[in-house]
Amino acid sequence: MTHVFTIAIDGPAGAGKGTLARRLADHYRLNLLDTGLTYRAVAHAMLQVGLPLDNVSAAETAARQVDLAKLDRAVLSAHAVGEAASKVAVFPTVRRILVEKQRAFARTPPGAVLDGRDIGTVVCPDADIKLYVTASAEVRARRRLAEIESIGGTADFAEILADIMRRDERDMGRADSPLKPAADAHLLDTSEMAIEAAFLAARAVIDDALAMRNRA
């Protein structure tokens, strides 16, 4: 059986894991899945037809209809969709449906970088590499504000910070698959680290693991 290579990246919103995942997927020529988009797709489908986000069976139906090949980042990246995603993400049945799709993606050769909240703990517990990318809530809020301002928008720092803290609480506090580092994850705190430095640190970890595997 050909071995597929899996890199699992977890962490809170705004820690820089998305950019890191993209850079690593490019560098190691692996497939890339931002699993947050799958939860966002469920929330978006419900918001579009005005369904309440606590309607579990509607959320399950929307989850079954998620097509990983058709996730539209431009549509799904809206802030309100992220908020709504964290609400439908608490339902274990919704998670199970999406996790199956994510695992099938991870199994496809040559392997993949997956980023999310529960990749190293639940989706791919046997991943070759697990990274937990974090940064202080203040730094994440500052980055988010800079991002909004760079595209000509305006926002209030205190509001963004409150939003981030609320999302952290929901993601870390839920009963099913809470956000937490896997026991064997490498921690990367990007509070005082540029994305390039995080990329280099991650590569060092991955290259070590690859060298060890080639020796075995």
Q: Which residues bind ligand C5P (CB under 6 A)?
A: 13, 35-36, 39-40, 82, 85-86, 89, 116-118, 167, 171
Whose Cβ is closer to ligand C5P: residue 171's or residue 202's?
171
CA 39 to mean position of chain CA atoms: 10
Question: In angstroms, rounded to a whole number, what is the distance separating the alpha carbons of residues 35 and 116?
Answer: 5
| Backbone angle region of 188, left / alpha / beta, with phi > 0 → left and psi within -120 to 50 → alpha | beta
- Taking the least distance from each CB to ligand C5P, the nearer of 16 and 36 is 36
The residue among 111 and 177 lying less far from ligand C5P, judged by its C-beta, is: 177
Nearest distance from residue 86's CB to ligand C5P, in Å?
3
How far apart are CB 81 and ligand C5P at their closest, in Å? 8
Instruction: Tell me the C-alpha distance between 146 and 140, whole Å.
Output: 10
Query: What number of H helices and E strands is found in the chain?
Result: 9, 5
Q: How far is the CB of 156 from ligand C5P (least distance, A)?
A: 19
Residue 211 CB, nearest approach to ligand C5P (Å) = 29
Between 23 and 40, name the residue whose CB sits nearer to ligand C5P. 40
Tokens of 56: 């579990």
What 8-state DSSP symbol labels residue 122? Answer: I
- Phi–psi pair at 126, nearest 5 degrees: -100, 20
Rounded to the nearest whole angstrom, what is the least distance from the CB of residue 136 to ligand C5P in the complex?
A: 17
3-class state of residue 1 by DSSP: coil
Residue type, 130: K
* Closer residue to ligand C5P, CB minimum distance, 153 or 215: 153
